[in-house]
C-alpha cells in the first residue's frame, strides 16, 4: 500500500503512474477521475483538478482544492477511476493509496 502524507489545505501536485500488470496504462481517449473515501468510509466529493500528463505513459496529476481533505476525516483512501470503451477500471486495483492529512493552522 502506498502512503502519502500532506498538510491540511494542500493544493500542490500529486502525481501518479497508472499501471496494468506493472506496465504503464495507455490512457489515450479514456476518462480518468480521482475518487476518495474518508476514515468513516464516506465518499468525498473532490473538487480539485485531475489532468493526464502523458496518456501513453499512464501519468496523471491531481491537484486537490483546499477543502478536499481535512485532518479530522483522515486517513483517506484514494483511487483513480478510468473509463474506457471496454468498461471501468480502478487504480490501484489492490490496496488504495492511503492519504494521511496532517493538521495545520489556517492562514489569514
CB 31 within 8 A of CB 60: no
CB atoms within 10 A of CB 76: 23
Backbone φ and ψ for 29, nearest 5 degrees, come out as 80, 0
Geometric angle at alpha carbon 50, from 45 and 53, rounded to 5°: 165
Backbone φ and ψ for 30, nearest 5 degrees, come out as -100, 165
Three cell numbers at 54?
A: 502523458
CB 82 within 8 A of CB 27: yes
The CATH code for residues 3-102 is 2.60.40
Q: How far is CA 103 from CA 38, 56, 74, in A?
A: 15, 37, 10
The answer to whether the predicted template modeling score (pTM) of the entire model surpasses 0.85 is yes
Q: How is the chain split into domains, by residue range?
A: 3-102
pLDDT digits (tens, 9 = 90+) for 62-85: 999 999 999 999 999 999 999 999
pLDDT digits (tens, 9 = 90+) for 80-101: 999 999 999 999 999 999 999 9
Residue written as cell 506496465?
Answer: 23
Report the percentage of the chain scoring pLDDT > 90. Answer: 89
Amino acid at each position: 500500500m502506498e502512503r502519502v502524507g500532506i498538510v491540511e489545505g494542500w493544493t500542490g501536485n500529486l502525481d501518479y503512474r497508472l499501471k496494468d500488470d506493472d506496465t504503464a496504462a495507455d490512457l489515450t481517449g479514456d476518462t480518468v477521475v480521482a475518487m476518495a473515501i474518508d476514515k468513516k468510509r464516506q465518499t468525498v466529493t473532490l473538487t480539485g483538478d485531475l489532468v493526464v500528463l502523458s496518456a501513453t505513459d499512464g501519468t496523471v496529476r491531481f491537484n486537490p482544492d483546499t477543502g478536499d481533505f481535512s485532518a479530522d476525516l483522515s486517513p483517506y483512501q484514494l483511487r483513480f477511476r478510468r473509463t474506457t470503451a471496454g468498461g471501468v477500471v480502478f487504480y490501484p486495483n489492490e490496496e488504495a493509496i492511503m492519504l494521511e492529512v496532517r493538521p495545520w493552522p489556517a492562514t489569514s
